[in-house]
């Protein structure tokens, strides 16, 4: 067993749930199994966006971020459903509970993936046996498929879990790199996006092996410090530990959403800005936090994306303050071209208990006056599930589900 658990090394799992949203819907309704299924933000809109899809749909060309009309053209029998966030979060929590029963060293990184360090789990058997038992339990109890990568560090475990889907278990050791990793296109490497891949291709770095052997100085000229980091990972070097507390380390809280169609309509844009600011306020409240900056992200019709931010003199947490700064940035930096996606993020976030908030007399009286109202609204919201004062305001409007998850719920499995 000692060759499985080296004294100086680590044994890391990366668990990746396969087609998670679609798989959860199939587990909830087995009649959907084997059928082409897609989860979309707004099925009623012809130009709604595909969030994820089943393998049956993917086999017919359906891809994430594809518009509904494109997906239906490729797959006329496609079943389209709205996302059910509560259902997905519940499934995620149950999955992470199973991981935590094996080892306390569990690090969720999103709703459908996470890392485990099983270096101290020798008594449970060899890593393959542990992975097989875990994969089987998740399938038997939750009816959800997953792939597991086994490696000496987080990067290699992540790459391994992508190598066989669905229901794969892949081992990737450093000695396996020349055969399993280096022949892959550099764009397939975790941490290399489209823009970085183009820069690497331009200097004749086509494969991960090319990256592993390229001169560090040359890479840093092209990619900065990230060039050295990517080269190290291509060589199987990644010292990052599996950190169960990482999910609690937040410096920003944000929300973004793709519009049903590219638009220059300022009424639609303003409605979305208000919705995003509300989302951020709710998440800030959940974390009992406030921030010292606001960032606005605009993605245009041609996928060109800009981010602009503003530092503030005092902490903010309320929707109206977040929206005011975001609107200021928008008016200053929008080039009037059609917009595809907007995002608002509060930056330099701190928990309120850590903030020494200096108030002058007038600010104190104003905030004290508002605090009673905020408290009353929060109590009613907790009781009835929604802000009752916003139900009338939002009556008749489409409550469009968002297509991305924040990480502020990922430690719920511990409760």
* Sequence ranges of the binding site for Mg(2+): 16, 112
Nearest in space to 343 (alpha carbons), one of 275, 280, 297, 283:
297
Cβ neighbours of residue 74 closer than 8 Å, sequence gap 6 or more: 60, 61, 62
From 45-54, 256-265, 275-284, the region with the lowest mean pLDDT: 45-54
Average pLDDT for 158-172: 96
- Looking at residue 365, its pLDDT comes to 45
DSSP annotation of 402 reads: P
Helix, strand or coil, per DSSP, at residue 317: coil
Q: Considering just the CA atoms, what is the radius of gyration of the chain in Å?
A: 23
Q: Are 157 and 135 in contact (CB under 8 A)?
A: no
Antiparallel, parallel or unpaired: β 305-316 and 289-300 = antiparallel
Give the DSSP H/E element, type plus range, for residue 38.
Answer: strand 37-40
Catalytic site residue 113? yes
Q: How far apart are CA 196 and CA 75, in angstroms?
A: 32
Give the DSSP H/E element, type plus range, for residue 114.
Answer: strand 113-117
- Looking at residue 64, its pLDDT comes to 85
- Looking at residue 393, its pLDDT comes to 37
Order the strands of the 253-263 sheet from edge to edge: 253-263, 339-351, 289-300, 305-316
Q: Tell me which of 113, 274, 328, 365 is the catalytic residue.
A: 113
Average pLDDT for 28-45: 87
Task: Read off the pLDDT band of 399 (50, 70, 90).
Answer: very low
Q: How far apart are CA 372 and CA 363, in angstroms?
A: 15
Polymer length of the chain: 415
Domains of the chain, with CATH numbers? 21-83 (3.40.1170.60), 86-172 (3.30.70.270), 178-234 (1.10.150.20), 250-357 (3.30.1490.100)
- Looking at residue 49, its pLDDT comes to 82
The 10s digit of each residue's pLDDT in 285-316 is: 887 888 999 999 999 988 888 999 999 988 89
Q: pTM score, two decimals?
A: 0.68
* Sequence ranges of the binding site: 16, 112
Average predicted confidence (pLDDT) for the chain: 85
- Looking at residue 2, its pLDDT comes to 56
Task: Read off the pLDDT band of 45 (50, 70, 90).
Answer: low
- Looking at residue 41, its pLDDT comes to 73
């Amino acid at each position: 067993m000692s060759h499985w658990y080296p004294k100086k090394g680590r044994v890391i799992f990366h668990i990746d749930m396969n087609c998670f949203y679609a798989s959860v819907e199939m587990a909830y309704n087995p009649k959907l199994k084997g059928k082409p299924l897609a989860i979309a933000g707004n099925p009623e809109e012809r130009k709604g966006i595909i969030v994820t899809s089943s393998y049956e749909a993917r086999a017919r060309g359906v891809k994430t971020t594809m518009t509904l009309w494109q997906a239906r053209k490729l797959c006329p029998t496609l079943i389209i459903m709205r996302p059910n966030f509560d259902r997905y979060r519940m499934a995620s929590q149950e999955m992470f509970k199973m991981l935590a029963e094996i080892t306390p060293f569990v690090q969720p990184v999103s709703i459908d993936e996470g890392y485990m360090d099983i270096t101290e789990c020798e008594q449970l058997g060899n890593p393959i046996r542990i992975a097989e038992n875990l994969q089987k339990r998740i399938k038997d109890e939750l009816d959800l498929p997953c792939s597991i990568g086994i490696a000496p560090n987080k990067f290699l475990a992540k790459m391994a879990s992508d190598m066989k889907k669905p229901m794969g278990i892949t081992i990737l050791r450093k000695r396996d790199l020349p055969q399993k990793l280096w022949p892959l296109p550099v764009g397939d490497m975790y941490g290399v996006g489209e823009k970085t891949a183009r820069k690497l291709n331009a200097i004749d770095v086509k494969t991960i092996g090319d990256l592993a052997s390229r001169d560090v100085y040359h890479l840093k000229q092209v990619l900065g410090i990230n060039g050295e980091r990517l080269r190290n990972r291509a060589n199987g070097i990644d010292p990052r530990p599996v950190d169960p507390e990482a999910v609690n380390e937040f410096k920003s809280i944000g929300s973004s959403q793709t519009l049903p169609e590219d638009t220059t309509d300022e009424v639609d844009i303003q409605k979305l800005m208000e919705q995003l600011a509300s989302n951020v306020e709710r998440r800030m409240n959940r974390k009992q936090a406030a921030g010292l900056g606001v960032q606005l992200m605009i993605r245009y019709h041609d996928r060109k994306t800009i981010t602009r931010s503003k530092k503030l003199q005092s902490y903010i947490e309320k929707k109206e303050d977040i929206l005011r700064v975001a609107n200021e940035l928008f008016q200053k930096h929008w080039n009037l071209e059609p917009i595809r996606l907007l995002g608002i993020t509060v930056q330099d976030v701190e928990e309120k208990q850590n903030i020494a908030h200096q108030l002058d007399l007038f600010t104190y009286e104003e905030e004290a006056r508002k605090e009673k109202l905020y408290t009353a609204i929060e109590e009613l919201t907790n009781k009835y599930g929604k802000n009752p004062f916003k139900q009338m305001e939002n009556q008749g409007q489409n409550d469009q589900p968002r297509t991305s998850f924040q990480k502020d719920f990922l430690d719920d499995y511990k409760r």
